């Protein structure tokens, strides 16, 4: 099938990261994708194999399929091929020029089936996700009045749309499960290598103090961007009597390279949506820095995730402090308990269908 997937970039690591993984995953299954992006610049390091040009165009063959990256305002013409599926990622609206093109195309080909129109929402463990997943949303105005959008919610339970998960993740997880006893026996009491990808957590200096006091050989792998700037400030704020932690600044990595980094670390600090899912698949201990919202909605979202995760008390308290939702100090890191928690969560997720499989089933049902 031919898919049109639309992405408005707010945080290019997360929004574009999810949309690129979704597009690549579909292409690997033989589909063709037109990925519309208003700022595709991050693909230069996230997916360098796409060979993005200066105008934001790229075309890449993946297995039997293809991904074409198109600038947001690059309108189609009357000879352009109609697609089978439209995906508004994270609730973005279709470009006006695309709406007009679709209206004209439908009038020229009145007997052609309308595309399945999907509003692919943000990831959350909140209870409304199960209630809202797969619900229709009639289009009440505009040139496409009378059509139907469908809400599709990624999620952590069988009543949601699942998570992005490639076949190589399934294979790696199967290998780890076979050696899980040995894997857990080798778990150190304290992390020796930690990845850091975050916003600006107020507790970062506190976390550096913990590592300085507990593990002299510990190394921080610090991702580029806002988190790296926050790390520099936290270093400056450390008490002079404490030893400076060891660290490495990590240049922007292609998605497979970042996944490998997460797998190599004992503890992963992640942020947003894409890196959270990738960290879950590693089975390593993780701490999530959820995107902070002015109205405090992120607190409800974080607690819902921790409830689903069945987080032990120390992991819950660390999350709350890390996200600025508690005045209590950071607890000691209990790497064995935290890793055990993540691996149990991963086993639950592996029993569920992945996001692309469910999307394909939904499209076949509605098409």
Who has greater pLDDT, 162 or 12?
Answer: 162
Residue-level pLDDT at 10: 85
Instruction: Tell me whether strands 148-152 and 136-138 are parallel, antiparallel or unpaired.
Output: antiparallel
Residue-level pLDDT at 243: 82
Instruction: From the candidates 4, 121, 126, 273, give the one annotated as an active-site residue.
Output: 273
Q: What are phi and psi of 220, to 5 degrees?
A: -90, 130
Instruction: From the candidates 15, 88, 121, 259, give the one annotated as an active-site residue.
Output: 15
* pTM to 2 decimal places: 0.95
CA angle 181/186/189 to nearest 5° reads 120
pLDDT at 189 exceeding the cut of 80: no
Active site residue 84: no
Question: What percentage of the chain carries pLDDT values higher than 70?
Answer: 96
| Mean of pLDDT over the chain | 93
- Cβ distance 194 to 211 under 8 Å? yes
Residue-level pLDDT at 26: 98
pLDDT at 201 exceeding the cut of 70: yes
Question: What percentage of the chain carries pLDDT values higher than 90?
Answer: 82
pLDDT digits (tens, 9 = 90+) for 114-141: 999 999 999 999 999 999 999 999 999 9
Residue-level pLDDT at 53: 94
Residue-level pLDDT at 111: 65
Listed ranges 189-193, 241-245, 292-296, 348-352; the one with the highest mean pLDDT: 348-352
Q: What is the SS3 assignment for 53? A: coil
One-character DSSP codes across 269-287: EEETTHHHHHHHHHTSEEE
pLDDT at 181 exceeding the cut of 90: no
pLDDT digits (tens, 9 = 90+) for 243-289: 888 999 999 999 999 999 999 999 999 998 999 999 999 999 999 99
CB-count burial class (<10 Å; 0-12, 13-18, 19+) for 108: exposed
CA distances from residue 121 to 11, 80, 139, 280 in whole angstroms, order as listed: 15, 27, 17, 19
Active site residue 310: no
């Amino acid at each position: 099938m031919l898919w049109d997937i639309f992405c408005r970039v707010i945080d290019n690591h997360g929004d574009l990261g999810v949309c690129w993984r979704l597009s690549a995953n579909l292409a690997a299954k033989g589909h063709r994708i037109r990925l519309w992006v208003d700022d595709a610049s991050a693909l230069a390091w996230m997916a360098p194999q796409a060979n993005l040009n200066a105008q934001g165009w790229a075309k890449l063959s993946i297995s039997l399929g293809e991904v074409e990256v198109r600038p947001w305002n690059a309108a189609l013409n009357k000879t352009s091929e109609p697609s089978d599926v439209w995906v508004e990622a994270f609730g973005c609206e279709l470009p006006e020029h695309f709406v007009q093109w679709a209206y004209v195309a439908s009038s020229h080909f009145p007997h052609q089936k309308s595309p399945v129109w999907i509003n692919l929402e943000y990831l959350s463990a909140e209870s409304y996700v199960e209630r809202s997943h797969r619900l229709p949303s009639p289009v009440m105005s505009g040139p496409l009045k009378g059509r139907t959008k469908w809400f599709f919610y990624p999620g952590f339970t069988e009543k949601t749309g699942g998570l992005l998960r490639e076949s190589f993740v399934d294979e790696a997880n199967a290998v780890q499960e076979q050696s899980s006893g040995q894997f857990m026996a080798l778990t150190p009491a304290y992390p020796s290598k930690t990845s850091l990808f975050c916003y600006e957590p107020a507790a970062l200096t506190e976390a550096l103090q913990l590592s300085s006091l507990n593990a002299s050989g510990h190394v921080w792998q610090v991702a580029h961007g806002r988190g790296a700037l926050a790390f520099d400030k936290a270093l400056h704020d450390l008490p002079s009597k404490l030893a400076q932690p060891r660290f490495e600044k990590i240049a922007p990595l292609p998605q497979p390279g970042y996944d490998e980094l997460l797998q190599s670390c004992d503890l992963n600090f992640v942020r947003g949506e894409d890196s959270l899912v990738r960290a879950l698949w590693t089975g390593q201990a993780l701490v999530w820095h959820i995107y902070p919202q002015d109205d405090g909605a992120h607190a409800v979202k974080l607690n819902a995730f921790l409830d689903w995760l069945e987080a032990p008390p120390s992991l819950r308290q660390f999350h709350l402090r890390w996200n600025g939702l508690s005045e209590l100090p950071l607890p000691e890191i209990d790497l064995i308990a935290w890793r055990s928690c993540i691996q149990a969560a991963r086993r639950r997720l592996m029993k569920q269908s992945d996001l692309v499989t469910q999307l394909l089933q939904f499209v076949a049902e509605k098409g």
